Structure 1
Amino acid sequence: MFNFKRLFVIFLVSLLLSLLVGSTQIIAQSSQLQQAQHYYEQGQYQSAIAILESHLKTGENDKLEVYYPLGKAYAAVGQLGEAIKILEQGILAYRNHENSQKKWLNCLSNNLKLILI
């Protein structure tokens, strides 16, 4: 029997990865986000989580770029429930973002095909 929770997590991660295609960095631009990326790469996931959570709360323009690395960091420390929650928020944010609606729908369609095969 399929583990639907695991499939759902894979779906969410693949969807967000698809949305970020073309980006050479997981998070970019502000020095705060670059620091979070550095912490993640060094295995200091809790430090990365703290920075990324803070960044989400500030409402900065580039917060759409925070959801995937934050979800990934939560998954790295074994907090899968929190990872799923953050990734779901990211999907909603991308879906509601005017410039990403068409891209989001294409990615959703492609990822559903992959999961259902």
Structure 2
Amino acid sequence: MYDCFRTIYEPSGLTVTSTERPGGITVLTLVGDIDAATVGTLDEALATGERLVVDLSRVAFLSCAGVRSLLQANDRTELAVVLGGHAVTRSLEATGADLVLKVHPGVGAALAGLGPEPGREA
């Protein structure tokens, strides 16, 4: 498991890595904190595709602003979310977003959950 705690020597913020997968799926791997200062980075990343897997396994903190962004993206895209640590899971559960979003324990499960591209046979 990844260590989700930063030391005073590590910068705060959020980084996003985007990987294209078969079936028109974009996997977004996020590292850092999602809060009021970084939610714009999340919003930009969520606007990059129509079929998204959002990997939160290396996110240490997820604010309500981040949850809102995920819910808004879920309304306009096919979205699967990979759960992160306790703080991320707790944010999703406390807001009820875990009942609305398609949440998965890992990227493989999220990819399988999205299934084949609409209009194409498996």
* TM-score of the two chains, using structure 1 as the length reference: 0.32
More strand by share: 2
Name the structure, 1 or 2, with higher relative contact order (CA <8 Å, separation 6+): 1
* TM-score of the two chains, using structure 2 as the length reference: 0.31
